[in-house]
Structure 1
Amino acid sequence: MSSFLYTLGRRAYAARKTVLVIWLLVLVVTGGAAGLLFKGMDNNVTIPGTEAQNALDRLSVTFPQTSGASAQIIVVADDVRAPAVQREVERSVDELEGMDEAASIVSPYNADLGGSISEDGEAALIMIQLEGQTMEIGQPTKDHIAQITADLQQRLPEGSQSSYGGPLFAQSFPGISIVEALGLVIAIVVLMITLGSFLAAGMPLVNALIGVGVSTALILVSTAFGSVTATTPLLSLMLGLAVGIDYALFIVSRHQQELAQGVSPQEAAARSTATAGSAVIFAGLTVVIALVGLGVAGIPFLTTMGVAGAVAVAIAVLVSLTLIPALLGFAGARLTPRSARAGKRARADRAKPPVGERFFAGWVRAATRFPIVTVLIVVGVLGIATVPAAGLRLGLPDAGALPHGDPARVTYDLTDEHFPQGFNGPLIVTGSIVTSEDPLGLMNDLKAEIERLPGVADVPMAVPNPTADTGIVQVIPEGAPDSQQTKDLVEEIRSLRGHFQEAYGIDISVTGFTAVGIDVSDKLGEALLPFGVVVVGLSLVLLTMVFRSIAVPIKATLGYLLSIGASMGIVTLIFQDGWGAEALNVARTGPVISFMPIVLMGILFGLAMDYEVFLVSRMREEYVHTKDAQAAIHTGFVSSGKVVTAAAVIMFAVFAAFVPDGDANLKPIALGLAVGVFVDAFIVRMTLVPAVLALLGEKAWWMPRKLDRVLPAFDVEGENLREEIELADWPRPGSNEAIACAGLRLDDPSTGAPVYRDVGFLVERGGTHVVRGVHESAITAVLLTLSGRLQPDSGRLKVLGYVLPARGSAVRSRVAYVDAGAGGADAVRAALREEPEVLVLDRTDRASDPGERGRIRELLTGAGTTVIAGTTGLAEARDVLPAGAPATLTELRDDAAMPDVLSAAIR
């Protein structure tokens, strides 16, 4: 990966104008497509398959007058039954009935159809039922209802009030305010402090803005093909800005470090893209997988939200790896840190560490001086912060979560003031009554039974549909729509399904806006555990591959659990219990948006792994070089602490900026992410992690040998790249050998005994070389190593100029491996059709038929391919090698596989 990114960085730097133009064109094209294809957002949160949603779907067919979008108008006066008030209200009812979309308009004075007047006679509700679901109701219809309400207000006696609201108006479409821009201002300040110049600071910002521009445009385009919730683009925007700035920051910061060491600008850009870019890819991959993993819940709107966020992160990674090297090309040497350009005075000043290094050196010393104390304090504090999360209640926001002054919020509050709380979220009990001989009597019996249930404030309506095959009972709970009391009532009614079936022959279902919200919350709550298992399991596997350790992944995962617990605990305290809610402009406290926990878990998992990778990878890099576990903690922390701190502050600022004036759905998620980033970066990763590593010492980097061989490796530290750079002029400057190897060794993973060792030779391009030995297994192991299909435990190896094992894929695509003993001439012919630059011919001694060996020889003669043959005897090898081609020999003489390289030709 690092080698590929190195090449990508060099090419992007060289073709900087082209890269910039391409990204600008992508931005323009996607933006234009969004303008043409955007079909609007849907702010409804539903889950197909739940009882409430299934019942609502059935009602849309059997009783459409009750299944569509609903709204209400409340009238408050000294006496709503006064003739002057009643006359104007009835006039508004007539105007509402004249709307094309009106399915049913219930006057408050029509008690038989569920008309509602408060007990004190000061408030009346006009119930509005429309044809079509909420997302299908256009803005003109909403404006028409608002205008009728405004006209009613003008006609009512002085001192009276009218206001519109209800489920149709309960959801507001989120937007962007100036407050969100404050996050970017803070980001610029932090970037300037960290990178030392406005030019360097502007690059991550440009990178992030282009990335979120493209991803947001793609989300708008996707509305032409399916439903997208209004929260989705804001979540994508928030996440894309944060990771886009941070990922670019890591690359630019590494670029400046390379420049400070005297590396040329283009080489520095290539190296920073290869090293920091490798970590960016892994970090982005973890976020993408976690977001796509939201689909585990099987909830369509959540899957869409996760995929949209994943697209934003993937685009941020792609832009960072291509556009940032191009922008570095425009900057040239101007990004070189001042200290590196200041000459002798700067070199004298370097004897004293910079203030930043001294600060982080003090931090890591404090964290690791008494590591057991640090661990106990951190775990204790975060454990206490997690406690409130045990009482977390989930729900969907209704009009009560809207800002004060919003008409729907005013209606909600007036209804709550004059009527039982359940009027803001009535339930509908429905069922098929097609077998009943007395539909009206059946509905009255159901009404009577439900009225006696605890928690029921009123049952204003119980009617069959016009065809008398479906009945509905409207139930007004005593509790608020988001209260535990209402949820208990829904469960109580559903528990009586068997009783109603036996007594009346009706299979009931409970539905309505409130019941749908309860079912959505329950479904999301059930999805938390399987999603958590997937996330935690993924964390363990990915980090094991990255750090080649058992202890580090377990420590990282446990730290993530502390971070997620603390962030959920703080969200519960503020949004549910009301601690500091007013300061954060929380309109109403109560249950937290249902999908907050699962979205928070997914996103924070990826971000936590970001900090783990960028911090601990530098520690592992130092440990690999020095084998001093304690010193590696200190050196790795100091070298990466500054950039990790800057990245965390930027992410915290971007997320926190969406809290004060943010969408009600997004506010708890944004706060949870801000708290989670702060806790995870500064408390878990930068305090707990060094302490745990100090306790473990050398054991932190232990990994079973067999597991190490099985798991694929992510070279996030750029070790392979450094090896390529070191071997660029090996075995000699300007050399062009097909194969160069020295000191190659491979051990048997089960016994530890060497399969081969100290293998070393050179083969010119177009040359021929024979590997002979006593044991076929050792010969085959050497040949598989040379063809890039087996990784040696030690030694140096270049094939066709590519360093192995770093460039294994490039070597495998250019080197063919053939088992002559099994495939013979046909296998060789098939391999040569691919025009390999090197042909590795194993077990030539097994081609016992002289004619077959002759055919192989004919195929190889004149092919111009470098040939490496393996054999236990020279005679057979001579018969298959190209005619007239001199060959060199490496002989594996004994069980220890000690080679003897013969420079003389074997023929």
Structure 2
Amino acid sequence: MGTRDTRVRGLAARAGGWSARHRWAAVGIWVLFVVLAMGLGSAAGRVDVKESDQLKGETHTAAKIIEDAGIEEPAGESVLVQARGTELKATDAEFRAAVAEVVTAVRGTGRVSDVTSPYDTKTISRDGRSALVQFDMRGDSDTAGERVEPVLKAVAGVQEGHADTLRIEEIGGASMMKTFDDAFGDDFQKAEYSAVPVALGILLIAFGALVAALLPVALAITAIMATMGLMGVVSHVMPMSDTANSVMLLVGLAVGVDYCLFYLRREREEREAGRDAQTALRVAAATSGRAIIVSGVTVCVAMAGMLFTGLAEFEAMGLASLMVVAVAMVGSVTVLPALLSLLGERVERGRIPFLHKAMRRRAARTGGESRFWSAVLKGVLARPLVSVLVAGGALLAIAAPAVGMKTQNLTLDQEFGDSLPIVQTYNRVNDAFPGGSEPAEVVVHAKDINAPEVRDALADFKARAISSGASRGPVEIKLHDAQNIAYVYVPLVGGSDLDKAGASLDKLRDEVRPATLGKVDGLQAPITGQVAGSKDFNDQLGGAVVPVFAFVVVFAFVLMLLSFRSLTIAVTSILLNLLSVGAAYGILVAVFQHGWGASLVGAEGVGAIVTWLPLFLFVILFGLSMDYHVFVVSRIREARLRGRTTRDAIAHGVVTTAGVVTSAAVIMVAVFAIFGTLSMQSMKQMGVGLAAAVLIDATVIRGVLLPAVMALLGERNWYLPKWLHRLPDLTHDESPEAVLATAPREERPVGV
């Protein structure tokens, strides 16, 4: 092997060696990078995804028209006035008096505008028992939830005077915003904050020493801080979002801790085997460091798959996740060796006596190998075919429910259940006024909105929307003369039943609009709203599934092929990862759609999987599961290069990595499980899906299926057809002896 090849293929070893020799420079550069990234991000500010850029299609067109016109759509609110018995009607004096009180009360707060009486707008239910007083909140709609409390108190005051006969309840964008912020506003933030101490606690148990446990957390946190700054800079090219920030934190903590854990464990293992600190560090750099680079690049490729969705929110999540993985990967192979070199034996400071002693005794007794996994491996390798059939069959059975997966944007009651009074109000409004709480919004833009042909088309559209059966009315029209824009609000038949409401929306788009508004030259009339946004999102996401899946799978396959120079390893890696993702899908469907064991996680009555989750899970899980796979297979290959038989190499690779893989998996499962405890069903589904997949991946896949499949394949594990030999060679001789033999003379221990 020539010098040039060694230099290219030993990137991790060279980076670690330089870092250890120039440790203060390496630490200084990392600190400077983090500080500069944060400073630049703070100076640049973060540009978030605009409403008009969230989706393509009609929803995008409508948002763009409103944005270009400079119209700030206010937060709309409604007060439901509803008879508690069957006798009282909207025409009765008491009912009318209550409506008048509501109108007076909300106007008296000075926080609202355009208050309308149901007797003027005809927003009275068919049975005559319910009516809606409607109005807008003054000021910015994004912050309306902060100003709505006086209005809610005013409505509650009217309710007190009619508690026995009438139900008087407020609902709308502002009141829902406030209710959810009060109930769940800190929910997600608490989960993010609690993830760090949970990870630290598990690392303390894994290492038995405070300093060793703090290193992975410190690396993950600094990587996250740097990425947050970079997100601000990059957002001026590709806008970011709060969701992208949260996903970045989740992924950054997971991979940052994992990478550092892999590196630190290998360095510690080499020292326990009798090597001096410098030698141990170089071996860890060349072996675990290389596994980190291969894994990191593979995870980055998986995250890049989100860029192919065409959905601004997904693109932001993909880019933010890609950046934090790249930063954590670079930090792991550069600054971490410098810190370990600086600390030396002090990395064991802050020992927890009983834990540290127990670990030392176990290491001395087992030679660093896991007794539990040694016992499991003995059975697996004795009967590999039976192990493949049993474990593979079990995972296929778990994945089976995924065949009938139903995805949809969750309705309010699906997302939050009946735990909040406002959800019950939402259901009552939908029962009395189907589609009234989430009407379709037609944004009509014409050269002259008051032209006779436009006025006639609007009137015709209003009439046909009801006569076609798409709506039962009332259809409202709000004009913005100065901007030549009209809003047409159409309550959809189907209400909160998204399938039926979707059919009503199609009728409006495909039948009613072409026959009315579509006949006016130069007029635009995109239809948006909650149901339309959900449909456009689903259509776009559905079109992105195949390209994203193909991109991630093909590029991951190529990376594994180049990194291990084995067609067999590349194929089995992809198949095993797909199996673990499929099992996660099956668990999600079984729990959240079919309700099996739903009460254990507080998910009764959801009945569907949130639309964005399957694709999101695929990308995240395919990336993260490569962490373990690359690490374990690298160790197996290393043992094979040192002269062991394939079967012995499998046993050695799995049992020696079992401890670190288990620790890494426990951290990930614990962090993801925190999100599974949140109140929002979408976050709960994400947490349960991620936790279940990682648990399956680290146990059944890596501990049973991978060794069993490799044992069955034998020497074919290293098969590479001759016609593929021309591919770039990204492997290197991973045996510690070869690493030391190629070390710069000043780094070699005596005798090498």
Instruction: Write the deviation string for residues 154-182 of structure 1: whole angstroms up to 9, x where unpaired.
Output: 24425254334338845856664545555
TM-score, with structure 1 as normaliser: 0.70
Pick which of 232-241 and 176-185 moved more. Answer: 176-185
The equivalent of 1:293 in structure 2 is 305
Which residue of the other structure, out of 499, 508, 517, is the alignment partner of 1:484?
499
2:391 maps to: 378
- Give 1:409-558 correspondences, 5 Å limit: 409=423, 411-416=425-430, 418-429=431-442, 437=452, 439=454, 441-453=456-468, 456-461=471-476, 466=481, 473-481=488-496, 483-496=498-511, 500=515, 509-558=526-575
Distance 2:240 2:606 in 1: 27
Whole-angstrom distance in 1 between the partners of 2:66 and 2:361: 82
Q: Which amino acid aligns with 2:304?
A: V
- Over 3 Å counting, the alpha-carbon distance change for 1:699 and 1:447 in structure 2 is same
Alignment of 1:118-129 (within 5 A): 119=127, 121-122=129-130, 124-128=132-136
Distance in 1 of aligned mates of 2:19 and 2:607 = 51
Provide the secondary structure at the position in 2 that maps to 1:712: coil
Q: TM-score, normalised by structure 2?
A: 0.83
Partner of 2:601, secondary structure, is coil
Q: Distance in 1 between matches of 2:231 and 2:297?
A: 20
Percent identity between the two aligned chains: 27
Distance 1:662 1:28 in 2: 36
Whole-Å separation in 2 of the counterparts to 1:240 and 1:491: 42
Equivalent residues of 1:188, 1:202 under 8 A apart: yes
Q: What is the aligned partner in structure 2 of residue 246 from structure 1?
A: 258
Distance 1:43 1:119, change over 3 A: farther
Q: 1:544-693 alignment to 2 at 5 Å?
A: 544-586=561-603, 589-626=606-643, 628-661=645-678, 665-693=682-710
The residue that corresponds to 2:151 in the other structure is: 148
Q: Structure 1 pair 454/225, CA: closer, same or farther in 2 (3 Å)?
A: same
Shift of 1:510: 2.7
User: What is the aligned partner in structure 1 of residue 324 from structure 2?
Assistant: 312
Partner of 1:718: 734
**Structure 2 residues without counterparts, runs of 5 or longer:** 1-7, 352-358
CA distance in structure 2 between the partners assigned to 1:9 and 1:729 by the alignment: 12
User: Is the contact made by 1:420 and 1:478 (CA closer than 8 Å) also made in structure 2?
Assistant: no
- Range 354-363 or range 266-275, more displaced: 354-363
1:470 deviates by 6.2
Deviates more, 1:445-454 or 1:637-646: 445-454
Provide the residue aligned with 2:314 in structure 1. 302
Deviation of 1:638 after TM superposition, in Å, equals: 1.6
* Higher RCO (C-alpha 8 Å, min separation 6): 2
Question: What is the distance in 2 between the residues matched to 1:325 and 1:404?
Answer: 53
Please tell me the residue identity of whatever aligns with 1:110.
Answer: D
Contact map agreement 1:166 1:408 (CA 8 A) in 2: no
| CA pair 600-93 structure 1, distance change in 2 beyond 3 A | same
Distance 1:125 1:117 in 2: 12
| Cα displacement (A) at 1:659 | 1.9
> Do the aligned partners of residues 638 and 413 (structure 1) sit closer, same or farther apart at CA in structure 2, a change above 3 Å counting?
same
- 2:712 counterpart residue number: 695
Distance in structure 1 (CA, Å) of the matches to 2:105 and 2:382: 76
Indicate if the aligned counterparts of 2:158 and 2:168 stay in contact, CA closer than 8 A.
no
- Post-superposition CA distance 1:747-785 (Å, at most 9, x none): xxxxxxxxxxxxxxxxxxxxxxxxxxxxxxxxxxxxxxx
Q: Does 1:368 align with 2:381?
A: yes
Residue-by-residue CA offset, 1:671-720 (whole Å, 9 max, x unaligned): 222122112222223221111112211112110123123233243x635x
Which residue of the other structure, out of 119, 122, 133, is the alignment partner of 1:109? 119
Q: Provide the secondary structure at the position in 1 that maps to 2:491.
A: strand
Q: Is the CA contact 2:171–2:426 (under 8 Å) kept in the aligned structure 1?
A: no
Residue 3 of structure 2 aligns with which residue? Answer: none
Q: Which has the higher strand share?
A: 1
Which residue identity does 2:154 align to in structure 1? D
Kindly indicate whether the alpha-carbon contact (under 8 Å) linking 1:166 and 1:412 is maintained by their aligned counterparts in 2: no
For the 8 Å contact 2:41–2:232, the answer to whether it is kept is yes
Describe the superposition over 1:402-430 as per-residue Cα deviations: whole angstroms up to 9, x where unpaired. 586667646434434x5245223211345
Q: Distance in 1 between the 2:368 and 2:282 partners? A: 29
* Residues 625 and 24 of structure 1: CA distance in aligned 2, closer, same or farther (over 3 Å): closer
**Pair member with larger Rg:** 1
Question: Per the alignment, do residues 120 and 676 of structure 1 end up closer, same or farther by CA in structure 2, a change over 3 Å counting?
Answer: farther
Query: Residue type matched to 2:134 in 1?
Result: I
Q: 1:355 to 1:255 in 2, by over 3 A?
A: closer
Aligned residues, how many? 712
* Separation of aligned partners in 2, 1:622 and 1:550: 19
Equivalent residue for 2:275? 263
1-structure distance, mates of 2:475, 2:517: 25
For 2:438 and 2:501, locate their aligned partners in 1 and report how far apart those are by CA, in whole Å. 9
- Aligned letter for 1:124? L
SS in 2 for 1:422: coil
Displacement after TM superposition at 1:92 (Å): 4.5
- How far apart are residue 245 of structure 1 and its match? 0.8
CA distance in 2, matches of 1:43, 1:659: 29
Match for 2:718: what amino acid? W
Q: Distance in 2 between matches of 1:40 and 1:586?
A: 35
Query: Is 1:633–1:690's contact at 8 Å kept on the other side of the alignment?
Result: yes
Displacement of 1:247 in angstroms is 0.5
SS at match of 1:710: coil
Q: 1:468 to 1:708 in 2, by over 3 A?
A: closer
CA contact (8 A) 2:77 2:174 kept: yes
Following the alignment from structure 1 to structure 2, what is the Cα–Cα distance between the partners of residues 347 and 569?
A: 41
CA contact (8 A) 1:6 1:273 kept: yes
1:541-564 deviation digits (Å, cap 9, x = unpaired) = 111112211122111111121122
Partner SS state of residue 304, structure 1: helix
Is the Cα–Cα contact under 8 Å of residues 22 and 338 in structure 2 kept in the other structure?
A: yes
AA of the residue aligned to 1:616? V
Aligned residue for 1:82, secondary structure, equals helix
Q: Residues of 1 paired with 2:652 and 2:686: CA distance? A: 35
Q: Quick one: which of 144, 169, 172 aligns to 1:165? A: 172
Cα distance change, pair 138–365 in 1 and its aligned pair in 2 (3 A): same
Q: Which residue of 2 aligns with 1:5?
A: 12
Cα distance, 1:491 vs. partner?
A: 2.6
Distance in 2, Cα, partners of 1:470 & 1:335: 67
Partner of 1:55: 62
Query: In the TM superposition, what is the alpha-carbon distance from 1:200 to its structure 2 partner?
Result: 2.0
Aligned equivalents of 1:347 and 1:127: distance in 2? 70
Paired residues of 2:77 and 2:173 also in contact (CA < 8 A): yes
Residue in 1 that maps onto 2:404: 391
AA in 1 matched with 2:723: K
Output the CA distance in 1 between the equivalents of 2:720 and 2:428: 65
